[in-house]
Amino acid sequence: MSAKLSRAFIFPGQASQYVGMAHDIYDRYQEVRELYNQANEIMQLDLAEISFNGPEEKLKQTRITQPAIYVHSVAMFELLKAGNILPEAVAGHSLGEYSALVAAGAFSFQEGLRLVKIRGELMQRAGEIRPGTMAAIIGLEFEQIEEICDAVSGTGVVCPANYNSPGQVAVSGEIEAVRAAMEKAKEAGARRAIELVVSGAFHSPLMEHAQEGLRQALAEAKIRDLAIPVYTNVMATPTTSAEEVKDLLYKQLTHPVRWTGIIEHMITDGIGAFYEVGPGKVLTGLNKRINRELSCQPVGDLTGLDEILAAEN
């Protein structure tokens, strides 16, 4: 990558959804309405209706949450692209990696949504087969949390799932083991240890039940070499290889999201401006904790989009 300051798009994952998401861009732009029409057909349900009007309980189901965030994120990307605002690199947090891959030219919107639909269904089912939970631990070093997970492993499976920012890691695994890790973290001086409301132990070995189905879906998908690099969850480093993308999307289900590493590598490679493309501002918040000097702007609604179109054109 060049030494000059360049632009990256980053795409949010699960927990960024909210009732009403993308409604404003749907109302204004015909091309967004067309995307939702295609999505409704692929999903065999009214994703637009659930995204815009809820109920929240339904939107929070993994098999619906993931496609809802994906469609919103790709719709925002397409509007930026129409305004000639394009990234030189991309990354996405967990599910967000699929949105990032559309932006990088790895596959079409439709192909990506088919994969996301299968992934969401498989992950929801895996959470029912092997129930688990996750917890956010705030105020400890990465190494401390790894040691805590090792120390309580006698109570069951628990491991780091998301290295979100310095001092903030999500752990994932069997319920008893996660709660034991939370207690141990508090004893070690963690500021907070909060159990998350999730339908499964994402990015842990408990997701192995989802892997075979996803492997098959990835093998059948039309995935091209990328036009720009994606910094992957599993490695935190860039790739443009279709074959590597397939392998890493498969591994992503049971491996941690190395978000801090992704952003640090992007900065080292010359990225100076980040746009969070999709619902919410979760990644903007994480990036500020990784590096306070970072320019990171959320583009999740009409206000954010209009600001950027006005500033860049």
Closest CA to 231 of 2, 9, 5, 4: 9
Catalytic residue among 73, 94, 165, 199: 94
Residue type, 17: Q
Asked about 203 being catalytic, the answer comes back as yes
Report whether 209 contacts 87 (CB < 8 A). no
Residue with tokens 């009214």: 46
The structure tokens 């509007």 sit at: 79
User: Phi, psi (5° rounding) for residue 6?
Assistant: -130, 175
Element (H, E) at 170: strand 168-173
66 bridge partner residues: none
Taking the CA atoms of 195, 148, 266 and 268 in sequence, report the sign of the dihedral they define: positive
Its sign, for the CA torsion 299, 301, 305, 306, is negative
Select which of 203, 209, 255, 265 is catalytic.
203
Can 73 be counted among the known catalytic residues? no
Among all residues, which ones are annotated catalytic? 94, 203
